[in-house]
Structure 1
Amino acid sequence: MFPYRKILELHGDDVSLRGIAMMTRHSRQKVTEVIQLAERKGVKLPLDDDITDPWLEDFLYPEKKQEVNGRHSMDFERIHKELSKPNVTLTLLHDEYVREAHSAKKIPYAYRTFAEHYHNYAMKHKATMRIWRKPGEVLEVDWAGTTLSVVDPDTGEKRKVYVFIATLPCSQLFYVEGAYNMDLFSWVRLHQHTFEYIGGTPQIIVPDNLKTGVTKHTSKELILNKTYAEMAAHYETVIMPARVRSPKDKASVEGSVNIVTTWIIQALRNVTCFSLEELNQEIWGKLETLNNRPFQNRPGSRWSAFLEEEKFALSPLPDTPYKLSTWRKAKVRPDYHITVNSMFYSVPHELIGKEVEIKVSSHVIEVYFNHMRVASHQILYGKFGQFSTLKEHMPDNHRLYVEQTPEEAMKWAAEVGPFASQIVTFILNQYNVEKQALNAVFTLKKLERTYSSYEIEHACKLVLEATNRPTVKSVQTMIKTVHKEDERKASEINSETTDEKYGFTRGASYFGGKKNESTKL
């Protein structure tokens, strides 16, 4: 029998390749091949007693046993990796294997024998096969029932710390972290830390039916917390909560809770920490030891099994992490504002009295009505009662008042005409206090509610012809006078036109007016 075990043990004792070749009477090329193959497949020293030369040959060269009977060999490593892909089954892989055998003009194994050979290989060489999970498919998450504590350095009081546990059922890799609260913010943040730890995201997340993540879960209906669902969508994964009172749906994390409770929580029972950061450092130290602890009956550890058999199947992380946001509802106030944390944010005035949904993140709030975004504001900080008001949300009369700046005043006057611009310029220069000047201009602008721009410009022209010191009052008086005069002339013209056109109408001539006398003359 080829001395696989002796070669590996001599290499572990730092014997040179030349020395190993001389002692085992085999070529340096063959010795190098065995050592490199063992390192690639994760064989670790020291070797257990049950790892014999036949076991190592079967592990390093599984195809040798197949070649004896002349059948087409099976690539177990490729089969194992292909099975981790979504919707790839052993039946599909056997069909492909049969076509490969026919192309190579060799006899393939029947499906039953094919499956049996692969099963034996996986049970013997793959630490994860006894779980019967696809790599990268599921991540199970839960809170541990047992808690830890942190001591307040000032008061000496103990503050409770809840322990979050995430498990990949395929490789049985853990992630553990403590948090002061079991609220939505902590729940989402701990998921993000888990994704960062494993360097990717699974296809499915299986949580318990906690109110922080699941709003309603029955046999007919599933309603997830909106923030939790957004987080899953950002990381391109799916949340499938365990059925109510069905712990088997997340058996891996249920079992992990016991292991973590023993090897991490109870192992830290006599350790005193004065901050959450300090406690988590202790937790992560124990976690590293636990994930790297060798399996009892097979080579490798949880971490090595994860790197070799599961990490490749995880989806990559997005370019930017998810920014936590919360959702709430509010009714739009009569002043077309909503209240968020004692701050006021505007929405379109047409929504007064309507109920809207508000998405609140760390820097921005977004307002939605009928699933459409209608407003967005930067979060206000500092003294309570501040307002964030956008002009486009205001009614026209409110917007007219707010847009009171010298620049806006001159812009409006320019749109009316050159004579209006002269009067506005004179008003702005006349007052020492800018606010007084703007109030005067605002009063002038309100004429637009009753009169046209042409009438305002004409009144300004007449005022400037009459005085070098125009006032708003003079413009108001002039435009009213001109308007009344225009109405009187229009009335007279209408009366004369009517008298001439319709003979049956009793006009001035009927009553002996001047028109009748002049006609007689």
Structure 2
Amino acid sequence: MANYKQVNVIDRIQQLYRQGRSQRASAAELGVSRNTVARYLASNPEPPGQTGCHSTQAATKEKGTTCPVLSDEATHGVAQFETDSAEPEATHGVAQFETDSAEPEATHGVAQFESVSAEPEATHGSAVAPASRPPVVDKRSGCAQYASEILAAHAQGLSGRRIYQDLGDAGFTGSYASVKRFLQRNRETSPPVPFRRLIKLAGQEMQVDYGQGAWVRDERGRRRKTHLLCCVLSFSRRIYCEVSYRQDSESFIRGMENAFRHFCGVTATVVIDNLKAGVIRPCNFDPVLNPKCHDFAMHYGTCILPCRPRIPWHKGRVENVVGYVQNNALAGRTFPSVNAQNTFLWTWQDKVSDHRFHGTEKRHVIDMFHEEKASLQPLPASIFAAFSEELRKVHSDGHVEVQGAYYSVPPEYTSQEVWACHDGRHVRIMSKDLKELALHARQERGRTSTAAGHVPPVKVYLPERGSHWLLEQIEKSIGPGARAWGETVVLSRQAAAPKVLHGLLHLRKAHAAATIEFVCNLAITRGETCYQALKALLEERGDKRQPALPFQSEHELIRPLKEYNHLIDYKDIFP
């Protein structure tokens, strides 16, 4: 004999379920646990001994259909329902539903749903469900009367917070959590889109990423954080890793260089993250690399390709490798120095990581590397030269300051920012798009290096060009006699000679070249090397050239002369 109380609880659970109560509310009302309610609904969704509309109401509430009205007569457990045309005939255990066309034929244990166009084919124990799932609405929820508005706004792509704000303007008094629960209950479930596993060729790619290394406790007892650099070949999955105290460009480049030396070759591309040591301006389409990384890639003949910002799975192989190194090699360990940690990592690579069995490829990593090694590019003859880079602004005098010394740049870059890359011997100035502007020898603090051509022509004083250049200009514009006099001036006047030669060129503006040539030959015979003496000889000749005055025969303010012909009587002029 069944427990009467237990049967009543089961019936009550089914009744509350048909009324649309949630499992939480049913458990609170009946004083049982939620697991009990869920267990009875899962094992016996319909109350025993009941058929017809009671079982149909629960289904129709979920399906969005309307339960027909019960008739007063029922025979042999069969419920008859009203139709628009005539009273249907009932058969054993069959409930007939109204249709728009004709009376459906009933079969044992089959419930037929209304159809608009054609009569569905029914099979034993099955029902044809609607094409789309109607919204799930809890009548006790404050969102019940706004269900259509919420679903329409959500279909337009509006967020839950935006929908809640718009409902507040329409008089909604519920909470934001109520709107979230309503959207969660009506969320359309779709199969997840599978990830695409990219296949990389041998020697094609190396992925690089940073993680946190093991702590270092130095001789003073201080705990220092380390940064773990991991490099992995995308084809063979062979690993190289090392730790450092900093994530600057120098440590980043030296780590990649050590990886190439460890692999005895260079890959065609290197995929990195958008860290500041490698990328100065992230971009989905054309990121701007750090100048040092750009030169490093040129030196090794590879191409550095930063992945898209905030999408780490574009370099998923190295992301997994960082976790593998942290959990397998470094977890629970502390080292006295960075060198000790690196020594341990390199030993671990040779003994553990190189001999692991890769589950996807079904091969050992070291065997795949031997296959890939022949596809790697050869290493360059020398290592990458170490240098430092700094972003500097060009001063108003056309120079940039690098560690206390000053170096010139082309005049069109005045007041702009440029990159200054320097080592122990040279200073290279580059624009922000990595175009080389100047190359200088390293100067001591306080010294200035100005390259030829970096001074604007309007700022060049002619004596600065030197006596040799001035003598060539004198011979071109005046003649050989003037050059001969200039050479005597250079021999006798020395440091003052450029200014005197500049004065000789200046005389060309007021005197004819032949006159200056004659006077210079006369000055040579007299032994005169002074500019004032040469000028006095020119004044004695008194043939100072009158500059030609240009006259215009036509102008918009002057009438043509032919218009004055009728005013002139030529007989008076020429009798």
Answering whether residue 362 of structure 2 is matched by residue 302 of structure 1, we say no
- Identify the match of residue 203 of structure 2 among 116, 130, 136: 136
Following superposition, the deviation at residue 331 of structure 1 comes to: 6.1
- Contact 1:404–1:442 (8 Å) recurs in 2: no
Return the match for 2:236 from 171, 187, 198: 171
Written as runs of structure 1 = structure 2, the 5 A alignment for 1:15-164 is 133-149=200-216, 151=218, 160-164=225-229
Amino acid at match of 1:365: R
The percentage of counterpart residues that share the same residue type is: 21
Q: Superposition RMSD on alpha carbons, in Å?
A: 4.4
2:313 pairs, out of 242, 248, 253, with: 248
* Equivalent position SS for 1:382: coil
Given that 1:135 and 1:170 are in contact with CA atoms closer than 8 Å, whether structure 2 keeps it comes out as yes
Other-structure match for 1:289: 351
The alignment status of 1:377 with 2:439, answered yes or no, reads yes
**1:308-356 deviation per Cα after TM superposition (whole angstroms, max 9, x unaligned):** x22123233456655577777766555444444443333444x264747
Measure, in 1, the Cα distance between the counterparts of 2:546 and 2:310: 88
CA displacement, residues 354-391 of structure 1 (integer Å, 9 cap, x when unaligned): 74754635435245599876x42224232234222315
CA contact (8 A) 1:151 1:158 kept: yes
> Is it true that 1:435 corresponds to 2:499 in the alignment?
no
What amino acid is aligned across from residue 272 of structure 1 in structure 2?
P
Query: Per-residue deviation at 1:169?
Result: 3.6
Is the contact made by 2:209 and 2:273 (CA closer than 8 Å) also made in structure 1?
yes
- Which residue pairs with 1:311 in the alignment? 373
Aligned equivalents of 1:447, 1:159: Cα separation in 2: 76
Aligned equivalent of 2:262: 197
Instruction: Provide closer, same or farther for how the CA distance between residues 414 and 284 of structure 1 changes in structure 2, counting only shifts above 3 A.
Output: farther
SS at match of 2:544: helix
Q: Tell me if 1:478 matches 2:541.
A: no
- Give the distance between the partners of 1:311 and 1:361, measured in 2 at CA: 35
> How is 1:498-517 mapped onto 2 (pairs within 5 angstroms)?
none
Structure having the higher Rg: 2
Q: Which has the higher contact order (CA 8 A, sep 6+)?
A: 1
**Alignment partner of 1:398 is 2:460:** yes
Q: Secondary structure at the match of 1:485?
A: coil
Cα distance in 1 between the residues matched to 2:344 and 2:326: 14
Corresponding residue of 2:323: 258
Match status 1:463 vs 2:463: no
Q: SS at the partner of 1:365? A: strand
Aligned AA for 2:421? V
* In structure 2, distance between residues paired with 1:490 and 1:412: 24
Tell me if structure 1 keeps the 8 A contact 2:211–2:227.
Answer: yes
Flag the 1:223–1:132 CA change in 2: closer, same or farther, 3 A: closer
Deviations 1:139-183 (CA, angstroms, capped at 9, x unpaired): 22111223544848xx88676542211112432211112333212
- Matched position secondary structure for 2:266: coil
| C-alpha spacing 1:137/1:477, structure 2 compared with 1 (3 Å) | same
Check whether the contact 1:391–1:399 (CA below 8 A) recurs between aligned residues: no
Cα 1:327–1:387 change in 2 (3 A) is same
CA contact (8 A) 2:394 2:413 kept: yes
User: Contact 1:323 / 1:361 at 8 angstroms: preserved in 2?
Assistant: no
- Which residue of structure 1 aligns with residue 70 of structure 2? none
Opposite residue 544 of structure 2, the aligned amino acid is: D
Change in 2 beyond 3 A, CA 1:306/1:367:
closer
Structure 2 counterpart of 1:195, one-letter code: F
Summarize the Cα distance change of 1:216–1:481 in structure 2 as closer, same or farther, 3 Å threshold.
Answer: same
1:348, 1:393 within 8 Å by CA — same for their partners in 2?
Answer: yes
The answer on whether the counterparts of 1:148 and 1:162 sit within 8 Å (CA) in structure 2 is no
- Distance in 1 between residues matched to 2:365 and 2:547, nearest whole Å: 99
Q: Distance in 1 between matches of 2:532 and 2:256?
A: 68
- Residue 278 of structure 2 corresponds to 213
Cα gap change, 1:442 to 1:265, in 2 (>3 Å): farther
Query: Structure 1 residues 257 and 409 mapped into 2: Cα distance closer, same or farther (>3 Å)?
Result: same
**1:246-274 CA distances to partner (integer Å, 9 max, x unpaired)?**
443333322322332345445862x434x
Aligned amino acid, residue 472 of structure 1:
Y
1:272 corresponds in structure 2 to 336
TM-score (norm 1): 0.54
Secondary structure of the structure 2 residue equivalent to 1:420: helix
Q: Does 1:225 align with 2:289?
A: yes
Could you say what secondary structure the match of 1:461 adopts?
Answer: helix
Cα deviation 1:442-489 (Å, max 9, x = unaligned)? 544554676675554333224335x3233122123434565x633479
Match of 2:485 among 423, 440, 457: 423
The residue type equivalent to 1:345 in the other structure is: Y
Residue correspondences, number:
348
Counterpart code for 2:543: E
1:335–1:352: 8 Å Cα contact kept in structure 2?
A: no
Name structure 2 gaps, 5 residues minimum: 1-196, 550-575
Q: Deviations over 1:375-421 (max 9, x none)?
A: 4222423223422231574416626232235x556555655544334
Query: Cα gap change, 1:136/1:372 in structure 2, threshold over 3 Å: closer, same or farther?
Result: closer
With the length of structure 2 as denominator, give the TM-score of the two structures: 0.49
